[in-house]
Amino acid sequence: MIETHLLGHLEALLFAAGEPMPLDKIGAVLELNEAETAELVEALKTSYAGEARGLRIRKVAGGIQLTTKPELFTTIQKLVAQQEIKLSNAAMETLAIIAFKQPVTRSEMEAIRGVKVDGVVNTLLDLGLIAEAGRKDVIGRPILYGTTDLFLVTFGLDSLHDLPEIPEEILSAKTEEVQEGVLFNGDGEILSSDTETKQEVTETTDPASSPTEATEAVAPVETQATVDAQEKIDTQETTDLTGPAEDTEEKNKKENQPES
């Protein structure tokens, strides 16, 4: 039988913690075993069942949390003007992909959604709903992402096993497996990867794959060189022919001059 004075200790402990506390941690603080701790939690939960109480015990994120009752929300709202953080449709879609496919990389998210997710992922990181979960053992070692305990608390889940079942085809990629470095157009459609682009450039510029084109490209250079050489030869021949003619004319003039 649990001593009733421990109910106050448990209540104070949960109130001070704020965040969900696992049963083993509660038991360690109160010096109780697992069975005694679970019995104490159930006793406190029962004491909150009456309408005269404004608190409740909630099992969430693998722990126990003390919260206000949902039906008293309007009263709490008058006390604190809380600014709501609303997630866009894009953020909700990306968060759902991470929750069901984690750990997952950005490229894998983009393969499913068909658009870039950099801005959305950064927003979810800032809100603390997701966190880095290591790196994938592939070329480039892209960062893996997964949900956090805050995600479970926000959506009222005890664990990821409480997520509803979704058919695998809904989460399957819209196109073939997307690698790092994939290119997207303005509408978010996949264009090509860097590897494909480099291959296309190589095929276009490879002389071996198109001998005729390579010959045609070189032909004008050889023709121009031939023309230049021919012009040089013609000039030399003209010089050789003109030289002797001028010498003969000068000799004739000297022969025709009268002797003094």
Q: Which residues contact 97 (CB under 8 A, 6 or more apart)?
A: 104, 109, 112, 113, 171
**Is pLDDT of 216 > 50?**
no
Better-predicted residue by pLDDT, 37 or 260: 37
Better-predicted residue by pLDDT, 225 or 130: 130
**Is pLDDT of 132 > 70?**
yes
Q: Which residues pair with 67 in a beta bridge?
A: 56
Compute the C-alpha angle 15/21/25, nearest 5°: 115
Q: Which residues pair with 56 in a beta bridge?
A: 67
Burial 87-117 (b: 16+ CB within 10 A, else e): beeebebbbebbbbeebbbbbbbbbbbebeb
Better-predicted residue by pLDDT, 61 or 185: 61
Reported as type and span, the H/E element at residue 43 is: helix 34-47
- The number of C-alpha atoms within 13 Å of 106 and in the hemisphere containing its C-beta is 19
pLDDT digits (tens, 9 = 90+) for 76-131: 877 765 556 788 899 999 999 999 999 999 999 999 888 999 999 999 999 999 99
